[in-house]
Structure 1
Amino acid sequence: MRRTLLVMAISLFCAAVVVAAPDRVKVDGGIIEGMGRQPSGVRIFRGIPFAQPPVGDLRWREPQPVKSWTGVRPAVKFGPRCMQPTIFSDMIFRSDGMSEDCLYLNVWTPARSSAERLPVLVYFYGGGFVAGDSSEPRYDGESMAAKGIVVVTVNYRLGVFGFLAHPELTRESPHKSSGNYGLLDQNAALRWVQRNIAAFGGDPRRVTIAGESAGSVSVSAQMASPLSKGLIAGAIGESGSILGTLRAVPLEQAEREGVKFAAALGAKSLAELRAVSAEKLLEAATKGGMGGIGRFPITIDGYFFTEPPAVTYEAGRQARVPLLIGWNSEEMSWLALLRGREPTPENYAQAVRELYGERAAEILKLYPAATREEVIEAATDLASDRFIAFSTWKWADVHSRTSGQPVYRYFYAHPRPRRRGENAAPARGAIHSAEIEYALGNLAVNNVYEWTPDDYKVSKVIQEYFANFIKRGDPNGPGLPLWPAIRGGGPVQVMRLDVESRVEPERNRARYLLLDQLIEK
């Protein structure tokens, strides 16, 4: 009896030791200690540095390898978010303040040991390349990790800090390029994943990159870059691409804007510009509305991009990987098109004429409207296409034609419910960014909206599609409506994601073919 009790006591003691054992992992730079295993079975590591702080002389330089530390570094707090203005009301941060020192990533893993080789999701946040952070609850990786996926969210430099181009920067660069530092941060994170993710039980050969809005643009950009395309096994794009939204410009054009910016600050040299405080730079860069979106564009710099991305995709030189891609039913409001005018057919026609001149009749034929309700619908469609839907369509279309890989296209149509405590009617359609919490399984962490059983039903279906795709390059699985792939210019079937998800034939190809002509004109 005493022997039995002794064995039981030893077993309980050993189990306690195992439970209490520190969750430590060796990564570039040293040993980190995470938050341990959660009730979901997921282990969490926050605020892992993947590059040196881009401060001082490293401001506006390619991300540099992280420096080693001694001892054990805690990985329980999110790192600081990158310098940014406050412009988007739906952004909620859990980050440790704001700083130029912001190149950190986070890992959620369900793996029991480093011997496992689980699929990996690397997610890039949206925010117009001027805002956003990997700590936002809607990007939390625990729900997706619980489905057998190692999830990584990444910080990258924004605005003037991430995309300033300048002739002096180009001259000092070993690659004779400037700008695109935010995209290079993402590339550095992908390379970090290749070197380190196996320690978390992830498979570096099965890395799917994903993002929404600017994050989706980033995915399309990484696929087109010779620096990154070999690091990717699959891609998910939610609303946006480099083939239209926030498109890349020639380096010389971006350099001219950089020179103007420096002159406005009174900086006569790069050294003087680097001496300007981060706060003053941010203030100067965000004047003029919308936090400076588009002021410091992505550049065709000869290094990250060796040619225009559109040329890369048309030639089939992008990462040839499966792509899951789509956009939402109300990416932009009709109000943006009519600019304060009543939604009458006359006002709608006038707004279209102001935008398209002699080609207005062609637009009105494909976006017709004869009643107030039809005007609202047509103007919403046109505003959404102009803003972001067309560029997403373009990416899906060209990749399906030139990659030899399957493309799975969706149309997300489920509106969010009303906000808690408000009597206002909910949105007519699915607004820009509305799908994120649904796709990543994070409705429960967003208390702003009055979620219903239908919302959780939609989320379950979309998250299952995403998880299947990350695991196998195919969203299909048991209990889900069949989602046909688009292959090689064949018939286009689109998955309409809603309370009752279903496949529909492509309806508006003629619209996008016309917009393609007008944009290229």
Structure 2
Amino acid sequence: MNRFRLIVGVVCAALLMGCTTTTSKIPNGQAARLVSTTGGMLRGVTQAQLGVFRGIPYAAPPVGELRWAAPQPLPGWEGVRDASAFGAACIQPPVPASSIYNDPPPSSSEDCLNLNVWAPDDAEKAPVIVWIHGGSLRIGGNSLPMYDGTNYAQRGVVFVSLNYRLGPLGWLAHEELSAKSDDGTSGNYGLLDQIAALQWVRDNIAAFGGDASNVTIMGESAGALSVTYLMATPKARGLFDKAIIQSTNLRSFPELAEAANAMPSAEQIGADLFSKLGVADIDAARSMAPQELTNLATLAGFAPQGTIDGALLPDQLLDIFDRGEQARVPVMVGYNAHEYRPEGGLALRMPKTSTQYEALVASVYGDLASEFLRIYPHAQGADALLDATGDIIFGWSGERIAQSQRELDVPSYFYVFDHCYPSARARDLCAFHASELPFSFGNLAAEAMPARWPVPDGEHDRAISDAMLDYWISFAASGRPTAQGHAPWKPYGPAEHYVRFADRPIAGRDFKPGMFELFETFAQRERAAGRSWGMPVALSVPAEIQDKQ
């Protein structure tokens, strides 16, 4: 019997509603679906033989005294709650209209802890993917058209997308908050939201046909960083079984109460923000309108990020992975071949002469400079600096995670997205940061993308997208990525196997030889010297030596 029909029959009988069918009509003409959750009954819609449920709350609204508090249990509701429309995104600052990432959600609110579910009508213990959106922990939302889960659900996955608190509302640490908390910590509220959403999935996903014992967490950029946090935190153990990590980083993060790694403490960062805003204390900050607070904090330079608090994030990510204390789950991890391009927000110029360039690199990399120059020679122009930036942040981090899981004898798979198409090539945006998303979701139409995004218009776009969906879904189902008719994807292993997504998937070994080893050695040296690591260095070129041609 169809799972939705069974649920509706049981619920209707219990409520003495006399229902005899799974469907009814709702105002927009779509058929309705009912599902029982721990919070109460939900009425979703049927679309293309899928049950779609939007705007499902998974925690109490974090407003008033719950601003800067762990997410609280959701009060249940009476009757049937409509789940046909997306909920509000979390409060976020505006993005410049000129940005290719300018894709504002329809609405935003502090009451934003909601998620969406796409499920096949006949789902029965189906694999589950939980999507965590990117956006620098500052912007984004689960309602963006690019993240529509239809293509996953049509291929047999129960797909979930969630919202989590952003900006200062989600990632502010402050001494007052730490003093009033049960465990003496603050910050990481957005991460706590993600854990609460995964707990909701554990408790409710079977009602949608999903298998709570086969959950894959998946994210890109800040979402990939969130997945990495979830792998690192003991608080998320048992809530997921696999991880798909698209462009993460393992950089150093602020410690809660002590300056470390050439960074102020997270509490000091919070205190400095309040000083810049003229805010006296937490009570005064709670009295501010959430949008005003977010906008002002952004203008003041507040950068949302995780806090190493000794509890939720017990140590630096690199230390946790070094000790093998991360989640022992299969991973599929990778990055894009040209993460940073000029229109992506980073315009770097090469020094005019190779001698100037070599001196600049040597001033930071010392005896590693020759290897840096071999991989990123002056002849490449600004592309050398741009690609070095992406590689030190995302390439090194992705391979580091693949290697760390291998050392735990856990399967890991590494990829590089290197697909280009005419409209992207015309703007020097081949394989830029986040450009894999339309392909990994199968949402290639212009209406699924931000207004200034280069819309895929190449001969191989749909084929590459279908292959990526097959690899992603098979990994979620079994822990092994496969795609019929395409390259076998071998585990990363000692040979450093990977798949490169160009005009077709191409299997290879040791992508960009020497790159990982260079940045691993450099990161370890910076770490040992008490400096921050995992972020670009030696890329600030003085104006007087820039090549402006």
Query: SS at 2:127's partner residue?
Result: strand
Q: 2:230 aligns with which of 222, 232, 238?
A: 222
Q: CA deviation at 1:132?
A: 0.9
Query: SS at 1:467's partner residue?
Result: helix
- 2:438 maps to 1:430: no
Query: SS at 2:190's partner residue?
Result: helix
- Amino acid aligned to 2:151: S
CA contact (8 A) 1:223 1:318 kept: yes
The 1:270/1:472 distance shift into structure 2, 3 A limit, reads same
Q: 2:508 aligns with which of 501, 504, 508?
A: 504
Query: Match for residue 406 of structure 1?
Result: 411
Query: Match for residue 174 of structure 2?
Result: 166
- Amino acid aligned to 1:23: R
The 1:111/1:118 distance shift into structure 2, 3 A limit, reads farther
Q: 1:446 aligns with which of 429, 448, 451?
A: 448
The 1:94/1:345 distance shift into structure 2, 3 A limit, reads closer
- Distance in 1 of aligned mates of 2:200 and 2:422: 39
- Distance in 2 of aligned mates of 1:332 and 1:450: 18
- Amino acid aligned to 1:502: I
The 1:458/1:451 distance shift into structure 2, 3 A limit, reads same
- Distance in 1 of aligned mates of 2:283 and 2:101: 34
* TM-score normalised according to structure 2 size: 0.83
Structure 1, unpaired ranges of 5+:
1-14
Q: CA deviation at 1:94?
A: 8.1
Query: SS at 2:521's partner residue?
Result: helix
The 1:170/1:437 distance shift into structure 2, 3 A limit, reads same
Within-5 A mapping of 1:68-467? 68-87=76-95, 89-91=99-101, 95-112=105-122, 116-241=124-249, 243-244=250-251, 247-252=252-257, 253-288=265-300, 292=302, 295-333=303-341, 339-341=348-350, 345-346=354-355, 348-349=357-358, 351-353=360-362, 356=364, 358-359=366-367, 361-369=369-377, 371=379, 374-401=380-407, 403-418=408-423, 425-427=426-428, 429-444=430-445, 445-446=447-448, 449-467=455-473
Query: Match for residue 262 of structure 2?
Result: none
Query: Match for residue 484 of structure 2?
Result: 478
Query: Match for residue 521 of structure 2?
Result: 517
Query: Match for residue 8 of structure 1?
Result: none
CA contact (8 A) 1:180 1:298 kept: yes
Q: CA deviation at 1:151?
A: 0.3
Q: CA deviation at 1:508?
A: 3.3
The CA deviation string for residues 57-97 of structure 1, in whole angstroms up to 9 with x for no partner, is 00000011111111211111111111111227345768551
Q: CA deviation at 1:308?
A: 2.4
- Amino acid aligned to 1:435: E
- Amino acid aligned to 2:120: P
Q: 1:31 aligns with which of 25, 41, 59?
A: 41
Q: CA deviation at 1:366?
A: 3.3
- Distance in 2 of aligned mates of 1:216 and 1:383: 18
- Distance in 1 of aligned mates of 2:348 and 2:237: 41
The 1:368/1:432 distance shift into structure 2, 3 A limit, reads closer
Q: CA deviation at 1:311?
A: 2.1
Q: CA deviation at 1:217?
A: 0.6
Q: Which has the larger displacement, 500-509 or 330-339?
A: 330-339
Q: CA deviation at 1:137?
A: 1.1
CA contact (8 A) 1:334 1:379 kept: no
- Distance in 1 of aligned mates of 2:356 and 2:39: 61
Query: Match for residue 544 of structure 2?
Result: none
The CA deviation string for residues 75-126 of structure 1, in whole angstroms up to 9 with x for no partner, is 111111111112273457685511111111000000436xx11000001001
Q: CA deviation at 1:332?
A: 1.1
- Distance in 2 of aligned mates of 1:74 and 1:350: 63
Q: CA deviation at 1:500?
A: 2.5
- Amino acid aligned to 1:31: M
Q: CA deviation at 1:287?
A: 1.0
Q: CA deviation at 1:428?
A: 5.5
- Distance in 2 of aligned mates of 1:463 and 1:239: 17
The 1:87/1:360 distance shift into structure 2, 3 A limit, reads farther
- Distance in 1 of aligned mates of 2:166 and 2:430: 29
CA contact (8 A) 1:328 1:431 kept: yes
The 1:338/1:135 distance shift into structure 2, 3 A limit, reads closer
- Amino acid aligned to 2:485: G
Query: SS at 2:420's partner residue?
Result: coil
* Root-mean-square deviation (Å): 2.5
- Distance in 2 of aligned mates of 1:189 and 1:343: 51
Q: CA deviation at 1:319?
A: 1.1
The CA deviation string for residues 172-211 of structure 1, in whole angstroms up to 9 with x for no partner, is 1112110000111000000000000001000000000001
- Distance in 2 of aligned mates of 1:474 and 1:343: 47
- How many percent of aligned residue pairs carry the same amino acid? 35
Q: CA deviation at 1:51?
A: 0.6
- Distance in 1 of aligned mates of 2:305 and 2:126: 36
